[in-house]
């Protein structure tokens, strides 16, 4: 009887090379699954973005999901700066403080923070601020991470134009 097994190796044991290949395939599968997931956000379509080949873009998905929501009454800090946005991961809007610190903002319930171009929209649909405008945000830092990774994340309780 012909056997493909190494005569010096007990039956049923895989070679180191086979185990390494299986581990690599498993690791690549996990990475690919993580990269292709929609991120679990609640406010977006999870669609694709435009490529260099000219494919049309779907609306970017929400970049944030609050890990431990804070009550609106908890908004005890004030952050003032210029509303900006960049092209990270489909667009990230942020507040740029005078000291150069960037703060990602989670808008209050009913509000919308548009990413490209950056704009703050009130629950009534009024554009309160656009990119380049000074805004003041009342709220507290949220204990979470986002895909933007541009700085501390502020759970806003109120956003007003100006100082």
Q: What is the pTM of this model?
A: 0.54
2 vs 98, which has greater pLDDT? 98
Residue 24 in any domain: the answer is: no
What domain count does the chain have? Answer: 1
In a domain, 62, yes or no: no
128's torsion region: left (phi>0), alpha (psi -120 to 50) or beta? alpha
Position with higher pLDDT, 52 vs 146: 146
What's residue 119's pLDDT? 93
Q: Is 21 a member of any domain?
A: no
Q: What's the pLDDT band for 48 if we cut at 50, 70, 90? A: very low
Q: Which domain holds residue 79?
A: 72-161
Average pLDDT over residues 117-142: 94
- Please report the pLDDT score of residue 87 as a whole number: 79
Give 65's pLDDT tier (boundaries 50, 70, 90): very low
Comparing CA positions, the residue from 73, 132, 144 lying closest to residue 105 is 144
């Amino acid at each position: 009887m012909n056997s493909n097994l190494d005569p010096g190796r007990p039956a049923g044991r895989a070679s180191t090379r086979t185990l390494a290949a299986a581990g690599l395939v498993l690791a690549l599968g996990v990475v690919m699954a993580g990269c292709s997931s929609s991120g679990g956000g609640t406010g977006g379509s999870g669609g694709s973005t435009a490529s260099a080949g000219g494919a049309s873009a779907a609306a970017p998905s929400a970049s944030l999901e609050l890990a431990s929501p804070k009550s609106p009454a908890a908004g005890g800090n004030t952050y003032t700066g210029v509303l900006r946005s960049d092209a990270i991961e489909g667009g990230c809007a942020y507040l740029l403080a005078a000291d150069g610190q960037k703060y990602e903002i989670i808008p209050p319930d009913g509000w919308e923070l548009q990413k490209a171009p950056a704009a703050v929209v009130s629950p009534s649909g009024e554009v309160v601020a656009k990119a380049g405008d000074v805004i003041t945000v009342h709220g507290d830092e949220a204990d979470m991470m986002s895909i933007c990774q541009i700085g501390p994340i502020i759970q806003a309780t109120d956003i007003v134009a100006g100082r």
